[in-house]
């Protein structure tokens, strides 16, 4: 009685078509358990080092992996410094080596392009910022790049590929040591270094990195895992009696103060002994005997609406609107000479009494500005 294996073997030997196909079809290469997973290659990644001109040991940020195929073992340089992404890339190389051989892998792998310098990266970021959905202001871009250069200087980084988490930590340690030698308080040191890192990190936002990749500059976020701590100082509002006095004396700024000193009068000996505030007012040549409706409107917008200084300077009458119930709203939106902070408009509901007070103080009916500054 024939065994099942014997029956199958004799059946295959009698069928010439099966024999020919079996002879011509190469057997698939055996794969070890787990080799076709990224987790397998993640454990086999490593980094190389080299000596710079000063003899210091420098670690290459990108990972390496050794691949074996057809009796040959080669070291393959990966393009990622993130271990998870590098493991996926190593798996892709492994599969391509098995399928196409070494020539396909070495032709695609090649040497990594020369890493851009910090100045070159900053220029690339400026170009990428112009393509963002909400492009930062020019002053913000300059601030981000200035902080990035300062951070790289502290860490001894010259090329963007050398900037990683360890370099950021090294820069933070260097800044703390230098600041403490200058006897600065620890709270000020921590706040300043956190601001530097936060501004430098803005150059590596997800949107910026996506645009840079499309422009041929592939970078990763070296600030992943960096913890920012900042000591927030408490802010106290003005005392109630001070606010009350401002509101009571504010009409004097609108209508003029008949009892205010003449800034152009020649000071007497007694006037020279007066308090410094009076001397400062006289030196500024501001005649508070006259009305100053623009300044009055600025104080109303600051204390009554909570607007920022630049928002007060660029505020328009067209920003006001009312709903069916008669509620008053102020829409802070983009103008030719003004861009809201954050790039988006915001709407404030303000008391109608503030709008009425602003309307009564309007002196220049032709100006679109709420507080036209023509000089005090």
Domain ranges of the chain: 31-109, 118-214, 240-256+291-360
Alpha-carbon Rg for the chain in angstroms: 35
CA 29-34-37 angle, 5° bins: 100
Per-residue CA distances from 310 to 74, 314, 339, 341, 348 (Å): 61, 6, 10, 10, 16
65 pairs with which residues across the strands? Answer: 76
Task: Name, in order, each residue with C-beta under 8 angstroms of 358's C-beta and a sequence gap of 6 or more.
Answer: 297, 300, 301, 370
Alpha-carbon distance of 249 to 259, in angstroms, equals: 12
Assessment of whether the complete model's pTM goes beyond 0.85 = no
pLDDT of residue 19: 46
Per-residue pLDDT tens over the stretch 29-83:
555 557 888 888 888 888 887 766 666 777 778 888 888 887 778 888 787 788 8
How crowded is residue 347: how many other Cβ atoms within 10 Å of its Cβ? 11
Q: What is the dihedral of CA 165, 170, 172, 176, to 10 degrees?
A: 160
Sign of CA dihedral 238, 353, 297, 252: negative
Question: What is the full per-residue pLDDT of the chain (376 aa) written as tens digits?
Answer: 444 445 444 444 455 444 444 445 555 555 555 788 888 888 888 888 776 666 677 777 888 888 888 777 888 878 778 888 888 888 888 888 888 777 666 555 444 445 788 998 999 999 999 888 888 888 899 999 999 999 999 999 888 888 888 899 999 999 999 999 998 888 888 889 999 999 999 999 999 999 988 887 878 888 888 887 765 556 667 788 888 898 899 999 988 988 888 887 776 666 555 555 554 544 567 888 899 988 999 999 998 888 888 899 999 999 999 999 999 999 999 888 888 877 778 899 999 999 999 998 888 888 888 888 654 3
pLDDT confidence of residue 282 = 47
Q: At what angle do helices 102-109 and 83-100 cross, to 10 degrees?
A: 140
Q: How many CB atoms lie within 10 A of CB 215?
A: 12
Nearest partner of 156 among 145, 144, 167, judged by Cα = 167
């Amino acid at each position: 009685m024939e065994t099942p294996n014997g029956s199958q073997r004799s059946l295959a030997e009698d069928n010439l078509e099966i024999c020919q196909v079996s002879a011509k079809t190469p057997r698939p290469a055996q794969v070890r358990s787990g080799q076709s997973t990224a987790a397998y290659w993640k454990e086999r990644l490593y980094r190389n080092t080299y000596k710079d001109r000063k003899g210091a040991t420098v670690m290459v940020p990108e990972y390496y992996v050794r691949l074996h195929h057809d009796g040959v073992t080669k070291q393959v340089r990966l393009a990622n410094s993130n271990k998870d992404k590098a493991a996926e890339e190593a798996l892709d190389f492994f599969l391509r080596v098995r399928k196409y051989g070494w020539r396909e892998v070495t032709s695609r792998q090649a040497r990594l392009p020369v890493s851009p310098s910090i100045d070159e990266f900053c220029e690339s970021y400026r170009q990428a910022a112009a393509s963002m959905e909400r492009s930062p202001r020019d002053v913000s871009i300059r601030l981000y790049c200035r902080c990035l250069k300062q951070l790289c200087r502290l860490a001894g980084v010259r090329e963007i590929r050398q900037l990683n988490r360890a370099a950021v930590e090294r820069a933070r340690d260097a800044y703390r040591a230098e600041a403490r030698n200058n006897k600065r308080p620890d709270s000020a040191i921590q706040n300043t270094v956190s601001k530097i890192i936060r501004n430098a990190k803005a150059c590596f936002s997800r949107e910026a990195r996506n645009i840079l990749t499309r422009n041929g500059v592939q970078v990763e976020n070296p600030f992943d895992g960096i913890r920012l701590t900042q000591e927030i100082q408490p802010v106290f509002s003005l005392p109630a009696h001070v606010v009350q006095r401002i509101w009571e004396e504010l009409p004097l700024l609108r209508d003029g103060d008949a009892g205010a000193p003449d800034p152009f009068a020649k000071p007497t000996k007694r006037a020279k002994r007066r308090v410094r505030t009076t001397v400062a007012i006289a030196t500024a040549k501001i005649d508070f005997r006259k009305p100053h409706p623009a300044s009055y409107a600025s104080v109303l917008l600051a204390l009554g609406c909570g607007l920022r200084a630049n928002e007060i300077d660029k505020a328009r009458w067209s920003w006001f609107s009312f709903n069916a119930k008669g509620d008053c709203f102020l829409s802070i939106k983009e103008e030719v000479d003004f861009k809201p902070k954050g790039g988006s408009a915001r709407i404030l509901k303000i008391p109608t009494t503030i709008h009425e007070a602003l309307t009564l103080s309007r002196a220049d009916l032709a100006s679109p500005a709420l507080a036209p500054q023509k000089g005090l």
